[in-house]
Structures are given as structure tokens and as C-alpha cells.
Chains A and B, each alone.
Chain A
Amino acid sequence: MRQDPGKSSSWQIKAAVAALSVIALYNALIQFGVTDQFATQYPDPYQVMGLQARLRPVAERVPASERMGYFSDAPLSETYGMAAFLAAQHALAPRILLKEDAKTAGQARYWLGIFTKEENFAQKGQERRLVMEQDLGGYVVLYRKPEAAR
């Protein structure tokens, strides 16, 4: 008997459903494995939660309504530089973190410095007329303007 060209035969339909089901299930298992592997190998790849814990003293000291200045030796044009800035913003919210070149950054009384290597942190602050308030460890430093109340 000739196959009607407008209709698929039973075995074609069954084969398609079987193939799609098996592929979908196999793909799900692969995706599960990939997710599990990635999550195990790269938990918190940008150290967002780590920075949040490190910045807790800042969040306790600086009023929530403050705008804080931010500078770093990690350029914001690079992914790691932007990640550091955004992670700091996340940890310090609801305070707004202002980049060094922002129009209103000059009004900020407290500043955060994040560095990628050991440096003379106090001097880095003095270059910007800032006083080093606290070295938070991990190359993270809190500064203040000299006139800011302690």
C-alpha cells in the first residue's frame, strides 16, 4: 500500500517522539551535571558574599543615607574592576557608591578603596585628600574626608 504523502506513518511518529524524549532527558542530565560541576568549582566567582562580610563594619559605621566615593586600581573598563565596584555597591546598599569621576563624588564624606595588590594605602588616600579610616583587610580600605565626623 502506498503511503499517503500528507501523513506520516506510525513508526515515524513513534520514532520522533522516542528520539525527542530520549534527547530531552539526556540533555537534562547533562545540564544537571554541568550546573553541579560549575557550582562546585566556582562558588561565588566574584566573591560577592565575601566582600559583603568584609564590608559589614563599613555598613555599621557609615549612615545609610550617605553617598560614598569609590576608587580602585582595577579599571572599571575591565570585568574584574566592574565586578569589584558592583559587589561593593551591593554590600553597601542602600548607600549609593559614586565612581571617582562622578559629578557628585566630591560631596562624598566616606570613600572606599579596593586594590588588587599591597600598596601604601594611606598614601593612596592622601593623593585624594582623604584620611585612611580603617584597613578592612583583603586590600579593601575605608577612607574619610578630614572634615567628616569620626
Chain B
Amino acid sequence: MNVLGWVAAAVAGWFWVRALLPRTAGPAWVRPGFEAALAAAFGTGATAALFFFLIWQGMRPAGAAWTADAFVLAGGVAVWFLKRRRVAELAPAMPARPLPLAWLAGLAAAGSVIAFLGAVAIYLRANPQGDWDAWGASNVRARMLVSEGLWRNAVSAELTEAHPELPLLWPSAVARVWAQSGEIRQTAPQAGAFFMSAALILGFGLGVAWLTGWAWGALATAALLTATPLWRYAAGQGAEIPAAVFVSAAVITAAAAEQARWSASGLVLSGALAGWASFTGNDGLACCVALLAALAAASRLRTLWWLAGAAPGLMLTVAFHVSLSPSRALLGLEGFGRAGRLGEAVQAAAAGLWHLGDFPAHPLLFVLLLMAVFRPGRPWQPSWPAMAWLLMAAGGVIVLWGTGGSTAARANLEGVRLWLTSAPVLLFTVFLWLAQPQKVQAVAEAAPARPKAGRASGAKE
């Protein structure tokens, strides 16, 4: 049950995703995989948030866990049944720009994903306790949530070193699985970390593939996996990877909604995923606000649908910070009072960006090189994901400014986390630009199928 609990959450989430995700004109074989990754993210977030809410309302952990699953599943089935014939349809999209040597990109992506998931499994097996933040904070609080009558220990001010002020979605997700299995075994957070790592990579890669074609999805996946912190954090069992899953899934879903003329159901799904991100951590909240601002600028009043989806997660986050968190201030106001701290935050963010990869395998270098050779035509469309990413980066620096670690090493760690959450958004944005269909003609001119004989003979063109 320590593994099946995660599968159950994904199944419950699948009906919601199936009902709300717009049907755009991507490759049909990609969609089921993308839906599965989204379902894992949505189901995990929804059941965990509801589980925590029910515990807060006084329900016992086991009862709360099963009730949360039943509600999410029943709600999903009901929405799916009601919307099964009314999912937003989109006219067939223009073919994406062709990518030469697509087979090589596919090989790189397949090899990278296999190596990544293999590395996660090996690390999880050797380190069942996870990394420092998991056994020092996240899993400690999960053990408190699953203990009958003692869940408030997870937000006690006495829990000085386990960050009782941080939101509780990921500990709730782990505690829910423990509550269902009836025992606290390390298998639950291990399986959760593996599922979330797979959901991040497959959701991102298949999401790009769905919107731009499999070749671009493959190259994007290979590019994302050059982010070395991803390898380190994936098996760490902390909240960083789940936050990245929610944020990237929210952005990709919003892009799909845009292609379906800002589909209301797509925006609701995107908002819900962003809402779970806000209850996962402060950087998740910053990303949620950044995405809201970017979508408000792009989709205007349609953003209200997005807000409706985000409402449960956002309201839980606000209620947590107002009523439960031992630290009432979301950000340390004393941090903002020191101008020097802003410099430290910017420095930490810059260091984090530098350490996002091991040169020459660095996502930013990949982005620059691809933009230089493909030269997507201006204006780069869509622009709102770029705006969201810039706001996420700015928000991350502000969070660092207010809450940044007391030591340089800690600050640098936070800097790396900032980019870990937002790197998939940047890559997704750039790959949307690179695959712009209006450039098909230009590529055809740049890569004509000339007869080899003509070249060999040195014939003039």
C-alpha cells in the first residue's frame, strides 16, 4: 500500500485531467503519457491537500486519507461524466518546424531518461532516508501528521529546526499514504519521490512533444536533464521536485488552454496545479503568483477560470499561514531591512544559475545555442510563459531576500532551488518559440534536400 497509495492518487486525478485538459492537435500517442504524468501531479496534490484539510477539521488520519481519495475520485468521475462530450476542441495546428537529426535527439532523450530514472532508483535504495531536508523536516512533519491527535506538532513553534512555518502539501502526501497503509515505512516517501521525478520528466517532455511534436519534446527532455541539481534533488524526497512538477504542469496546461482559445477547463486545471504548488513551499507560492500575473496580462478576464481552479490550493495556503504557521510573517521583514541582503540574494541566484549545469552541459548554454542557430522569428510567441518565468525568477530572488539562509552555503543552496523550480518553465518557453510553425518555410530554405551528386560535383547553385 506504500506504493499503491500513489497510484490510487494518480487514478483519482486521471478523471479530472481527462475531463479538463483541452484536446489540442498534438500526436495522439503522446497524450495518454502526458495525461498520466498530469494525473499523478493533480491526484497527489488534490488528495494531499484534502487529507490535510480533513485532519485540520478533526478527522482521524486513516479516515481522512480514504475520504480524501473517495472525494477526489468521485468528483473526477462526475466532472468527467458531465464534460465527456464538451471538451474544448481545437482546429488542427500548423505543423511545427522540423528538427533535423530528430532520431539523435530521440536517442539522447531516451538514454537520458533511462539514466535519470536508474540513478534515482539507485540513490533511493542506498539512501532510504532521503536527503537532509527530507529526514530533517519533511518526513518528520509527515510522521506527526499521521499520528492521531498529534498533527499540530507539525506546526509547533517548538519544532525549531524542522521548519514548522512551511506549508504542508508534500508531508501531507506522504502522511496520507502512511495512513492508508497503516504503518510508517520508508517505502512511501521513496515511492513518492520516484513517481514525482518520473512525472516531472515525462510530463515536461511529453507536454512539449504534445504541443510541438515528438522531436522537439525529445530535445527538450535531453536539455532539461542537463540540469544537474535535478539529479541531486530527485531522490532527495524533499518538496523541491513536487513543486517543480506542479509549476511546470501548470504552465504547460495553460499553454494547451491557450491553443484551445483559452479553454476554461484547461485554465481551471492549470490553476489547480498552481494552487497545489503554492501549498508546497514559498517558492511554489511565488511561482503561482507569477503565473497568475502573466496569465492576467495575456488572457484578461479568462484568468478568472484559472483563479477558480487555484482557489482551493491558494485558500488552504493562506489559511495555513494565517491560522497555523508559527511564523505569521510569510517573509522575514528583518531581511528586507538590510540592503546588503538583497545583494546576497542576487549573488546566490546568480551562483545557482551558474551551478544549474556542468559546462558544457548546461541548460542555459543549450538555450542560447539553439536560439542562435534556429533564430525563431520575432515576436517570440507566446510571450506570457517568458513573462511568467521572469516573474518567477524575480519572485524567487525576493523570497531569497526575505528568507535567505543565514550562511553563504545555505543561500547558495536556496539559489539552486530557485532555478530548479523555474528551469522547466524557461526551457518550455524557448522550445515553444523554436518550434514556431511560421518558420517552416525558412527551415525548408535553410535545409533543402539537395541531390548529393550536385554537391560532390561542385555544381553551382
Do the two chains belong together in a single complex?
A: yes
Q: Does A150 contact B (CB under 8 A)?
A: no
Q: Does A148 contact B (CB under 8 A)?
A: no
Q: Are A24 and B361 in contact (CB under 8 A)?
A: yes
The SS class assigned to the A binding surface is helix
Q: Does A142 contact B (CB under 8 A)?
A: no
Q: Which of B137, B149, B158, B186 contacts A96 (CB 8 A)?
A: B158
Q: Are A22 and B119 in contact (CB under 8 A)?
A: no
| Interface residues contributed by chain B, number (CB under 8 Å) | 67
Contact with B along A3-14 (1 / 0, CB 8 A): 000111110111
Q: Are A49 and B129 in contact (CB under 8 A)?
A: yes
Contacts A10-B447, A28-B225 given: A21-B219 contact, CB under 8 Å?
Answer: yes
Q: Which residue of B lies closest to A98 (CB)?
A: B158
A34 — which chain B residues lie within 8 A by C-beta? Answer: 231
B104 — which chain A residues lie within 8 A by C-beta? Answer: 17-18, 21-22
The number of A-B residue pairs with CB atoms under 8 Å apart is: 180
Q: Are A7 and B108 in contact (CB under 8 A)?
A: no
Q: Are A10 and B101 in contact (CB under 8 A)?
A: no
Q: Does B161 contact A (CB under 8 A)?
A: yes
Q: Which of B127, B132, B235, B375 contacts A8 (CB 8 A)?
A: B375
Q: Are B153 and A96 in contact (CB under 8 A)?
A: yes
Q: Are A39 and B123 in contact (CB under 8 A)?
A: yes
B347 — which chain A residues lie within 8 A by C-beta? Answer: none
The SS class assigned to the B binding surface is helix
Q: Are A10 and B448 in contact (CB under 8 A)?
A: yes
Contact with B along A71-113 (1 / 0, CB 8 A): 0000000000011011101100111101100101000000000
Q: Are B119 and A48 in contact (CB under 8 A)?
A: no
Q: Does A44 contact B (CB under 8 A)?
A: yes
Q: Which of A9, A32, A44 contacts B119 (CB 8 A)?
A: A32
B interface, CB within 8 angstroms of A: 99-101, 104-105, 107-109, 111-112, 115-116, 118-119, 122-123, 125-129, 132, 135-137, 139-141, 143-144, 147, 149-150, 153, 156, 158-162, 186, 219, 222-223, 225-226, 228, 231, 235, 357-358, 360-361, 366, 369-370, 372-375, 442-443, 445-448, 461
A interface, CB within 8 angstroms of B: 1, 6-10, 12-14, 16-32, 34-36, 38-40, 43-44, 46, 48-49, 52, 64-65, 67, 82-83, 85-87, 89-90, 93-96, 98-99, 102, 104
